Amino acid sequence: MYKGSIVALVTPMTLSSEVDWDAVTELIEWHLEQGTNGIVPVGTTGESATLTIDEHLRVIKHTVEVVGGRVPVIAGTGANSTKEAIDLTLEAKILGVDASLSVTPYYNRPTQEGLYQHYKAIAEAADIPIVLYNVPSRTGCDLAAETIHRLAPISNIVGVKEACGDYNRVTDILKATPEDFFILSGEDGQTLKMLELGAVGCISVTANILPNQMANFCAEFLLGNLEGAKTLDGRLQPIHEILFCETSPQPVKWALYEMGKIDRGIRLPLIELSPEYRGELVSRIKKAGAG
């Protein structure tokens, strides 16, 4: 089971928007030192939508090589084309990932039956653990709990990253899924409530800048220390909020730049964080002890 604080890793870029491979390596090593429980390369936060296929696969390969089996690598392999999602998932398996994270098809807005058939086809084609990813604010479609109930018995569909915005979805999903099917929060600000309802961790944007704090927060809860987890969550909430003041990963990349971890590069149509948010962002990350 994948649990705890799993970082939705940014893809560092130079000012010319090329992938900065040295910075990728340094970020991964920092996360491992700080106690991050897993790495998700080329997810939404990793700008998968604007990487080329070659870049996408190279980021996965590089991440697997640097991690070297020390924590799970769950690679983003979703697409709005089922064939492309299958191809990416098969390539990720060859590259040695532990699991794939497969976002719902975006833009084309499939029906629930279409979503079921999409994931069934991926699972049948690629013998690798698959984590579903529901983020309707990004994709334009919502993977219903009932559809997850239909998918969960497929042996290699093992869990879901849930970011629908309604933490009660955890209860709806767990009503009719196998005991070993897991839920990871995809909404940092709602992670505590989702954990209380049965989630086992998070795939986190905030973990990019506060990896140790996010890992400790999840560990406290999973060890049964609810009050300790609540205290840590209270300290983290201002960071969760500011990291979504504009489209992610614009704020988190700027935060990492201010921390000296990466350069300012980001790929169009995303741009650098607007100047009016920078002062408040820097103030909050300093107060939170980011560094």
Cite the active site residues.
133, 161
Measured between alpha carbons, how far is 107 from 272 in angstroms, rounded to an integer? 24
* 3-class secondary-structure state, position 74: strand
Measured between alpha carbons, how far is 60 from 75 in angstroms, rounded to an integer? 7
Cα angle 106-92-37, degrees, rounded to a multiple of 5: 90
**Short-list 157, 163, 156, CA closest to 142:** 163
Measured between alpha carbons, how far is 8 from 244 in angstroms, rounded to an integer? 14
Measured between alpha carbons, how far is 203 from 187 in angstroms, rounded to an integer? 8
By CB atoms closer than 10 A (0-12, 13-18, 19+), residue 155 is exposed
Pairing type for strands 157-162 and 201-204 reads unpaired
35 backbone dihedrals φ, ψ, rounded to 5°: 95, 10
Measured between alpha carbons, how far is 261 from 103 in angstroms, rounded to an integer? 28
3-state secondary structure 91-156: HHHHHCCCEEEEECCCCCCCCHHHHHHHHHHHHHHCCCCEEEEECHHHHCCCCCHHHHHHHCCCCC
